[in-house]
Amino acid sequence: MKIGQVAETTGTTTKTLRFYEAEGLLPPAERTASGYRDYSEDVVGRIGFIHRGQAAGLTLAQIRQILNIRDRGQTPCSHVRELLGQRLTELDAQTTELLALRETISQLYAQAAEPKQPEACPPDEICRYL
């Protein structure tokens, strides 16, 4: 498959495919006599895996690790499970931080809703709401 066909089939761009290849996420494509990239059909599944990994919040480095394990003929499932567990821990921490931030902003917003004239801000402050 030529690079344009792969891009269209996978919903990505040719630039992204070249990037994936340069970063070792895709094996180097064969070249036609005229120098065009010629990918095998199995690259479509690999790109789908990359996209699913990104959607799960994995980094390209982590996805590359998984692909390298598979390329060595091993099953990467235990490694993927470990990465997903780490991702869940990160998400839990981010959720806690976001909830605390939401509470802070909610309090500031409530204070800002109190009817006061804008000129009530002291001259040495930028805005009394923050």
pTM for this prediction: 0.80
Which tokens sit at 16?
A: 């992204």
Q: Is residue 120 part of a domain?
A: no
> What percent of the chain clears pLDDT 90, i.e. is strictly above it?
83
pLDDT above 80 (res 109): yes
Average pLDDT over residues 35-58: 95
The CATH number that applies at residue 16 is 1.10.1660.10
* pLDDT higher than 80, residue 106: yes
At residue 8, the 3 state secondary structure works out as helix
Supply the pLDDT for residue 97: 98
**Residue 130 pLDDT grade (very low, low, confident, very high; cuts 50, 70, 90):** confident
Any domain includes 42: yes
Residue-level pLDDT at 119:
64
Q: According to the model, what pLDDT value does residue 117 have? A: 67
DSSP letter (8 states) at residue 119: G
Tokens of 124: 């040495």
pLDDT band at 88 (very low <50, low <70, confident <90, very high): very high
**Structural domain boundaries enclosing 45:** 3-114
3-state helix, strand, coil in the chain (%, to 5): 60, 5, 35
Count of domains forming the chain: 1
- 127 located within any domain: no
Domain assignment present for 65: yes
Residue type, 67: L
